[in-house]
Amino acid sequence: MSERVKTLLWTLVLIAGIGASVLQLGDDQHHRPIGGHSHGHDHGSAHQPRKLFSWEPEQAHRLVLVSLEGARLEFRREGDAWAAETTRGAAAAQAFDPQGYLNLFSQARSDREIPMDATVLESYGLKSPVLRVRVEDDAGQALAEVEVGQRTPDGFGRYVFLPSAQTLHIVPNYQFSKALEALGQ
**115-147 pLDDT per residue, tens:** 887 677 888 888 899 999 999 999 999 999 999
Full-prediction pTM beyond 0.85? no
Q: Which of 31, 183, 64 is nearest to 132 (CA)?
A: 64
Confidence of residue 176 (pLDDT cuts 50, 70, 90): very high
DSSP character at residue 48? S
Cα 156 to Cα 135: distance, rounded to the nearest angstrom: 24
Count H helices and E strands in the chain, helices first: 5, 10
Cα 153 to Cα 160: distance, rounded to the nearest angstrom: 14
What are the residue ranges of helices labelled H in 29-152? 90-95, 98-105, 120-123
Higher pLDDT, 33 or 54: 54
Cα 131 to Cα 180: distance, rounded to the nearest angstrom: 7
Cα 51 to Cα 169: distance, rounded to the nearest angstrom: 11
Q: Which of 170, 161, 173 is nearest to 105 (CA)?
A: 173
Cα 75 to Cα 81: distance, rounded to the nearest angstrom: 10
Directed axis angle between helix 98-105 and helix 174-182, to 10°? 150
- Sequence-distant (6+) residues with CB within 8 A of 180 are 67, 130, 131
Confidence of residue 5 (pLDDT cuts 50, 70, 90): confident
Q: Which of 115, 172, 112 is nearest to 148 (CA)?
A: 172
In this model, does residue 32 exceed pLDDT 50? no
State mean pLDDT over 4-24.
Answer: 79
HSE, side-chain direction, 13 A CA sphere, residue 25:
6
Looking at every residue in the chain, the average pLDDT score rounds to: 84
H or E segment and range at residue 12: helix 3-26
Q: Percentage of the chain with pLDDT > 90? A: 52
